[in-house]
Amino acid sequence: MTPAPAPAPAGLVVSPSILAITDDPALKDLLLEMALADGFGVRCAASEAEAASLLHRERPGLLLADLDMPGRAGVKFLRTLKQSLYRGIPCVAVTASNDPMLSVAVDAPVFYKPDLEGFEAALERMFPPR
């Protein structure tokens, strides 16, 4: 049985948005382009601490972790998130690696850079047009 999503802290809104933890400028640009085209928001954090701070202010509809950040920050953040109050937030990962075991390691779908094939379709399923 899948645990119920944790409720958003009082006063916070769950929004049709992505919180991306990445330091990759090309990935940020691609996410912003998709956001403008599809009408959802994107917030980017360059570190785990910055992402945690953003999570305390607004609960996103999706968390995207870049697995190629120094120190495996994306992997560590996803693992920590899945054990926290925010474990109900759907998560995906992005990477330039072609390691098929990454999806198992982070327990989340993995999309591959640079084009993130299939990611936009996944967003459309998650955030249907309003």
pTM of the model: 0.77
Contact 23, 46 (CB under 8 A): yes
Categorize the per-residue pLDDT at 15 as very low, low, confident or very high, splitting at 50, 70 and 90: low
SS3 108: coil
Task: Kindly state the average pLDDT of the residues 25-48.
Answer: 84
Region of 90 (left: φ > 0; alpha: ψ -120 to 50; beta: rest) is: beta
Residues above pLDDT 70, as percent of the chain: 84
The CATH code that applies to domain 14-124 is 3.40.50.2300
Chain mean position to CA 47: 13
Q: Which of 62, 64, 90 is nearest to 77 (CA)?
A: 64
Q: What local confidence, expressed as pLDDT, does residue 9 receive?
A: 45
Q: What local confidence, expressed as pLDDT, does residue 58 receive?
A: 86
